[in-house]
Chain A
Amino acid sequence: MKKHPMLKYMKETGPQGDRMPMIMCPGCGSGQVLNAILHAVDRLIQEDGARKENFVFITGVGCSARLTSHYLNFDSGWTIHGRTLAIATGALLANPELRIIVITGDGDTGAIGGNHFIHVCRRNLDLTIVCINNGLYGMTGGQVAPTTETGISTTTTPYGNTEESFDLCRLAEAAGAPFVARWTTAHPHQTIRTLTKGIRKKGTAFIEILSQCPVHKKQSPVQMLKALKQGTARVKPGEPPVEGKIPIGEFCNLDKPEWIQSYQKVLDQFSNHRTPVEV
């Protein structure tokens, strides 16, 4: 039987590895996202000569966070809920050669991690944020999230959600991220292409992937994938969204000074000579 091409990046199942039984629920979209990310990383390794040792996957807490520790044969960190981007900031300042991919969820990014999210976008640090948005808190049992649509019933909105929801892409753009995009688990090829571009991008790349949570939404995964395909419409940068459809596509791709590059100018003042130290 032919092996899945991305298995080369994953731990072996055995005494050391835990690939099977898989922790994800049947029909969960996270596995599709992981597949897409690995394809993108593979392209960078094959096409750009990127070093596998430089890739670091950082996750927080939630279903999305489970993708690294159990499965990946890369440097990684399964860290504090919402704080992945602050941790990633520290790692980049220590070693700017690291190619950091943060895999996060809509709660991890949009709620507890909200502050760190907008500041990373503002600072334009060179990392990639892959936000798996299933519109709720999956790991803890299906509570409402800042991305849950108005009216939806969840375990903490049993009478229907009375709040408005975030558009995380617009938030990222407004906060200053130069590369912002949204796809869904029903758009695998586009996702891989955009992820490749995003990881290559020098600066903050925010890529949101709408994903299905069949267990808490109580729908079949096939149904949900169809809905994701039909309920979204691609827009080009600057184009208005199509009525009644969630906009998907690459929304912006700007050239802006990246944080490490800007700070290097400060470092360069002191690199070549002894400065009389004034305290």
Chain B
Amino acid sequence: MNTRNLLEPGVYYLQGAQACLEGAITAGCRVYGGYPITPATEIMEHAALRLPQVGGRFIQMEDEIASACVLLGSSWAGEKAMTATSSPGFSLMQEAISYGIMSETPMVIVDVQRPGPGQGYITTSQEDVMQARWGHHGEGSAIAIAPASVQEMYDFTIEAFNLSERWRSPVLIMCEENVAHMRERLIVPPLDTITVINRKKPQDLGIPPETYLPWGHDVVAPMANWGEGYNINYIGLVHLEDGNITKYDLAMHDRCVRRLHDKIEGNVDAIAKLETKFVETCKHLIVCYGSVSRTAIEAVVEARQVRGIDIGFLRLKTLWPFPEEQLRRILPPVDTVFVPEMNLGMMKHPIAEALRDRCRKIVPIPCLASLHTPEYILAKIDEEIR
């Protein structure tokens, strides 16, 4: 891959927004289509600056719908593409995401979440995390991940592109306003130590156009692109493995949609990542994601060291597909599970379902429009446990 003008290995002091875009171009993103929206605009502005420097193309589109559609066209024409938006724009992009799921299109969308509903406000939030799974119409899942620091805005964005290429899926980077705007250390490692995954192509597997099945051959079909002589037809309707859409019957419909569903939901172990501390024998547990995990770990350490509370920490790095089995495998039965979220209780639902017979009580700790302080979480723990 062309590494001209990527960040040299070293230490940088950047905003999360900038780190995210640097990760994208390091992963090979060469097309960016965007639209201004607070608080995601910085990502786009950095893209306007950096894309031509690395030989890519940037365009500011006329709205968020167009921006998401740019990703579809670019991906089908063979280039990795990304856009960044905030919550109201994320709502606009749902049709394109749904289409991306059916057409199995690698594409990366960053949602810098802000409170809603409506225009809400321009501070921080985690109110779109359910929308990431259920916001697009129809069945099928996108993959959603939640970075919590500037370093992770870089690392997770590279991972997002790798996931989208590996699984031929839209990947949603569900970050928060405070992470996009904070400045923190970014360590760029030697570029040859960074893994970049590209989509499998029929040419690489020796499959010629005559025998190529656009949605077949494997769990994740090799992807032909426009301009390669494969006469590939990208579609949003239910289809057979060979791309046929007219031989419709309910059995074919069922097979097509289940295959899409199983591609992601049936490979959770390979896709989903999480992080744990102190969970081998803990009595209580905090389950968290995004920047709330930074507060949560601070609270957990203080609860353990200063207040003698035996509480463990589990952080979801991947929100969707939800790692229910992993949670059940890793966690011992616990008493109280605390779920701090910058919303009124969203991920608490799949968490409660996963731990339904593994805990006595689930206690959500909601906080709207600002990051929980350690005191806020500790007060809730005290209230429940003491």
Interface residues of A (CB under 8 A from B): 16, 18, 52-54, 56, 58, 68-70, 72-80, 83, 86-95, 97-98, 115-116, 119, 263, 266-267, 269-271, 274-275, 277, 279
A90 touching B233 in the complex, CB below 8 Å, given contacts A277-B5, A277-B53: no
Is B242 a contact partner of A68 (Cβ separation < 8 A)?
no
Of B4, B69, B75, B237, chain A has the most CB atoms within 10 Å of the CB of: B69
Is A95 a contact partner of B77 (Cβ separation < 8 A)?
yes
Give the distance in Å from the alpha carbon of A230 to the alpha carbon of B244 in the complex.
41
Give the distance in Å from the alpha carbon of A98 to the alpha carbon of B78 in the complex.
11
Q: Does B235 contact A (CB under 8 A)?
A: yes
Among B44-58, those with CB < 8 Å from A are: 46, 50, 52-55, 57
Give the distance in Å from the alpha carbon of A94 to the alpha carbon of B78 in the complex.
7
Q: A116 to chain B: which residues have CB within 8 Å?
A: 62, 66, 69
Closest approach, in angstroms, between the C-beta of A146 and any C-beta of chain B? 18
Closest approach, in angstroms, between the C-beta of A24 and any C-beta of chain B? 13
Q: Does B30 contact A (CB under 8 A)?
A: yes
Closest approach, in angstroms, between the C-beta of A7 and any C-beta of chain B? 15
- Of A90, A94, A267, the residue contacting B69 (CB under 8 A) is A90
Is B227 a contact partner of A93 (Cβ separation < 8 A)?
no
Q: A80 to chain B: which residues have CB within 8 Å?
A: 69, 95-96, 99, 236
- Of B46, B72, B230, the residue contacting A75 (CB under 8 A) is B230
Q: A275 to chain B: which residues have CB within 8 Å?
A: 5, 53
- Of A75, A77, A270, the residue contacting B5 (CB under 8 A) is A270
Give the distance in Å from the alpha carbon of A52 to the alpha carbon of B226 in the complex.
11
Give the distance in Å from the alpha carbon of A49 to the alpha carbon of B71 in the complex.
30
Give the distance in Å from the alpha carbon of A99 to the alpha carbon of B30 in the complex.
20
- Of B18, B62, B227, the residue contacting A56 (CB under 8 A) is B227
Of A16, A270, A279, chain B has the most CB atoms within 10 Å of the CB of: A279
Closest approach, in angstroms, between the C-beta of B254 and any C-beta of chain A? 21
Q: B77 to chain A: which residues have CB within 8 Å?
A: 56, 90-92, 94-95, 98
- Of B61, B231, B234, the residue contacting A73 (CB under 8 A) is B231
Is B52 a contact partner of A90 (Cβ separation < 8 A)?
no
Q: A88 to chain B: which residues have CB within 8 Å?
A: 73
Q: Does B12 contact A (CB under 8 A)?
A: yes
- Of A53, A69, A73, A89, the residue contacting B70 (CB under 8 A) is A89
- Of B14, B18, B79, B233, the residue contacting A95 (CB under 8 A) is B79
Give the distance in Å from the alpha carbon of A53 to the alpha carbon of B227 in the complex.
5
Chain B residue at minimal CB-CB distance from A89: B70
Please, could you name 30 A-B residue pairs with CB atoms under 8 Å apart, sorted by A? A18-B246, A52-B229, A69-B245, A77-B72, A77-B233, A80-B96, A80-B236, A86-B65, A86-B69, A86-B73, A87-B69, A87-B72, A89-B69, A89-B73, A90-B81, A91-B73, A91-B226, A92-B77, A93-B57, A93-B73, A94-B57, A115-B63, A116-B69, A263-B52, A263-B57, A267-B52, A270-B54, A274-B5, A279-B7, A279-B14
Among B1-44, those with CB < 8 Å from A are: 4-8, 12, 14, 18, 22, 30-31, 33
- Of B14, B74, B96, B232, the residue contacting A83 (CB under 8 A) is B96
Q: B236 to chain A: which residues have CB within 8 Å?
A: 78-80
Q: B246 to chain A: which residues have CB within 8 Å?
A: 18, 70
Is A90 a contact partner of B235 (Cβ separation < 8 A)?
no
Is B70 a contact partner of A87 (Cβ separation < 8 A)?
yes
Q: 3 nearest interchain CB pairs?
A: A90-B73, A90-B70, A94-B79
Closest approach, in angstroms, between the C-beta of A72 and any C-beta of chain B? 8
* Interface size of B in residues (CB-CB distance below 8 Å): 57
Chain B residue at minimal CB-CB distance from A90: B73
Q: B62 to chain A: which residues have CB within 8 Å?
A: 115-116, 119
Further 11 A-B residue pairs, CB within 8 A, beyond A76-B232, A83-B65, A116-B62: A68-B233, A76-B231, A77-B226, A79-B236, A86-B69, A86-B73, A87-B70, A87-B72, A89-B73, A90-B81, A279-B46
Among B187-211, those with CB < 8 Å from A are: none
Is B242 a contact partner of A266 (Cβ separation < 8 A)?
no
Is A270 a contact partner of B226 (Cβ separation < 8 A)?
no
Closest approach, in angstroms, between the C-beta of A50 and any C-beta of chain B? 13
Closest approach, in angstroms, between the C-beta of B61 and any C-beta of chain A? 7
A266 touching B52 in the complex, CB below 8 Å, given contacts A76-B233, A90-B69: yes
Chain B residue at minimal CB-CB distance from A95: B77
Give the distance in Å from the alpha carbon of A75 to the alpha carbon of B229 in the complex.
7
Q: Does B359 contact A (CB under 8 A)?
A: no
Is B74 a contact partner of A94 (Cβ separation < 8 A)?
yes
Of B14, B46, B70, B96, chain A has the most CB atoms within 10 Å of the CB of: B70
Give the distance in Å from the alpha carbon of A73 to the alpha carbon of B230 in the complex.
9
Is B227 a contact partner of A95 (Cβ separation < 8 A)?
yes
Is A93 a contact partner of B234 (Cβ separation < 8 A)?
no
Is B244 a contact partner of A75 (Cβ separation < 8 A)?
no
Q: B96 to chain A: which residues have CB within 8 Å?
A: 80, 83
Q: A72 to chain B: which residues have CB within 8 Å?
A: 231, 233
Q: A53 to chain B: which residues have CB within 8 Å?
A: 227-229
Q: B22 to chain A: which residues have CB within 8 Å?
A: 279
Q: B7 to chain A: which residues have CB within 8 Å?
A: 277, 279
Is B74 a contact partner of A91 (Cβ separation < 8 A)?
yes
Is B74 a contact partner of A90 (Cβ separation < 8 A)?
yes
Q: A83 to chain B: which residues have CB within 8 Å?
A: 65-66, 69, 96
Give the distance in Å from the alpha carbon of A94 to the alpha carbon of B73 in the complex.
8
Q: B230 to chain A: which residues have CB within 8 Å?
A: 75
Chain B residue at minimal CB-CB distance from A76: B233
A95 touching B226 in the complex, CB below 8 Å, given contacts A18-B246, A90-B72: yes
Give the distance in Å from the alpha carbon of A211 to the alpha carbon of B6 in the complex.
52
Is A16 a contact partner of B244 (Cβ separation < 8 A)?
yes
Is B66 a contact partner of A75 (Cβ separation < 8 A)?
no
Chain B residue at minimal CB-CB distance from A57: B233
A75 touching B14 in the complex, CB below 8 Å, given contacts A91-B77, A98-B226, A275-B53: no
